[in-house]
């Protein structure tokens, strides 16, 4: 009785263990390739699944994330017979787990070899200078060829990058010298252009200074002429005013004399003083009427008496 119960319990435990071991949970971004009796059965996506013990097995666990593989540098020869070392980086993603599991043996190695041969074919049609300046073109060509070739393997090539292009050391030295010479040439051009611009600015500054100086001199001459004009006007007006004042004084003097009704002798005396002033000149000759000679003698006598 007891041995039979123990056997049943053991059998139940074994069945439970098998059932529990058959429960599988597929995590995110993973895919399980399941075989039944050695043949492909199905691909499990994210979620919970049950595997029949002994009959079914998980043959391959596939990551659906984008992956990166960095290949070792490959020697390639350009069209002008220059050997270079080029290493590439390939970004790929598995889109079909079944094709990836059964499409090709060692898919990464296959991609590496395919990348190397494709790179040699593309670079072999290009010269060195073109190769160094056409990375984007080379990347696009390699990606297109690899994507088409790996499609039956369930692999999608998203991007291919030439990580490094290393020409021979002597060519690299020559390129560095050429780049140095080009930098020096550009520097000389920039320096010459700067000096040219500086000379132009200096000349324009001198021209502007001369124009301003001439304008200042012109303005100063105008102001000076205007000042001289105003001075002449003021002087003329002053002389005119002086003459008017003198004439007015003389007119007033005559008026006062007329109003005072001077004696005839006073008038004769004034005439004689006027004649005396007129006679101051060396070449002046004055004829005195006979009737005035006695008065002249009288005046002289009065002056001597003083």
Closest CA to 26 of 10, 13, 7, 42: 42
Please tell me the predicted confidence (pLDDT) of residue 30.
92
| Tokens encoding 61 | 């666990």
Please tell me the predicted confidence (pLDDT) of residue 64.
92
Measured at the CA of 46, the angle between CA 43 and CA 52, to 5 degrees, comes to 50
- Taken in order 187, 188, 189, 191, the sign of the CA dihedral is positive
Q: For residue 81, is it left (φ>0), alpha (ψ between -120 and 50) or beta?
A: left
| Tokens encoding 282 | 């060396």
What lies within 8 Å, CB to CB, of 286 at 6+ separation is 275, 278, 279
Give backbone dihedrals phi and psi of 155, rounded to 5 degrees, phi first: -120, 135
Please tell me the predicted confidence (pLDDT) of residue 9.
74
- Taken in order 257, 263, 269, 275, the sign of the CA dihedral is positive
Q: Which residues of the chain have pLDDT under 50?
A: 283, 299, 305-306
Q: How many residues does the chain have?
A: 306
Please tell me the predicted confidence (pLDDT) of residue 91.
95
Distance CA 265, CA 213 (A): 73
Question: Secondary structure of the chain in the HEC alphabet?
Answer: CHHHHHHHHHHHHHHHHHHHHHEEEECCCEEEEEEECCEEEEEECCEEEECCCCCEEEEEEEECCEEEEECCCEEEECCCCCEEEEEEEEEEEECCHHHHHHCCCCHHHHHHHHHHHHHHHHHCCCCHHHHHCCHHHHHHHHHHHHHHHHHHHCEEEEEEEEEEEECCHHHHHHHHHHHHHHHHHHHHHHHHHHHHHHHHHHHHHHHHHHHHHHHHHHHHHHHHHHHHHHHHHHHHHHHHHHHHHHHHHHHHHHHHHHHHCCCHHHHHHHHHHHHHHHCCCCCCCCCCCHHHHHHHHHHHHHHHHC
β pairing state of 47-50 and 39-44? unpaired
| Tokens encoding 221 | 């001459």
Distance CA 171, CA 166 (A): 10
Please tell me the predicted confidence (pLDDT) of residue 14.
78
The answer to whether 269 and 299 are in contact (CB under 8 A) is: yes
Please tell me the predicted confidence (pLDDT) of residue 92.
94
Distance CA 64, CA 61 (A): 10
């Amino acid at each position: 009785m007891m041995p039979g119960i123990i056997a049943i319990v053991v059998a139940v435990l074994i069945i439970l263990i098998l059932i529990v071991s058959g429960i599988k949970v597929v995590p995110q971004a993973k895919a399980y390739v399941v075989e039944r009796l050695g043949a492909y059965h199905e691909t499990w996506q994210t979620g919970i699944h049950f595997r029949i013990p002994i009959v079914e097995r998980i043959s391959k666990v596939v990551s659906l994330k984008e992956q990166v593989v960095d290949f070792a540098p490959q020697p390639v020869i350009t069209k002008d017979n220059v050997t270079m070392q080029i290493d590439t980086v390939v970004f790929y993603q598995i889109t079909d787990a079944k094709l990836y599991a059964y499409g090709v043996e060692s898919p990464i190695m296959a991609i590496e070899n395919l990348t190397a041969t494709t790179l040699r074919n593309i670079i072999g049609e290009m010269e060195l200078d073109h190769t160094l300046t056409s990375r984007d073109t080379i990347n696009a060509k390699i990606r297109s060829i690899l994507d088409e070739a790996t499609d039956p393997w369930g692999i999608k090539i998203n991007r291919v990058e030439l990580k490094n292009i290393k020409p021979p050391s002597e060519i690299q030295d020559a390129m560095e010298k050429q780049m140095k010479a080009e930098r020096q040439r550009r520097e000389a051009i920039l320096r010459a252009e700067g000096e040219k611009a500086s000379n132009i600015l200096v000349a324009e500054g001198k021209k502007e200074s001369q124009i301003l100086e001439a304008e200042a001199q012109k303005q100063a001459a105008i102001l000076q002429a205007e000042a001289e004009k105003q001075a002449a006007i003021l002087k003329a007006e002053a002389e005119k005013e002086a003459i008017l004042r003198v004439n007015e004084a003389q007119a007033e003097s005559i008026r006062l004399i007329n109003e005072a009704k001077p004696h005839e002798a006073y008038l004769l005396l004034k005439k004689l003083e006027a004649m005396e002033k007129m006679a101051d000149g060396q070449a002046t000759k004055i004829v005195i009427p006979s009737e005035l000679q006695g008065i002249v003698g009288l005046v002289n006598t009065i002056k001597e008496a003083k």
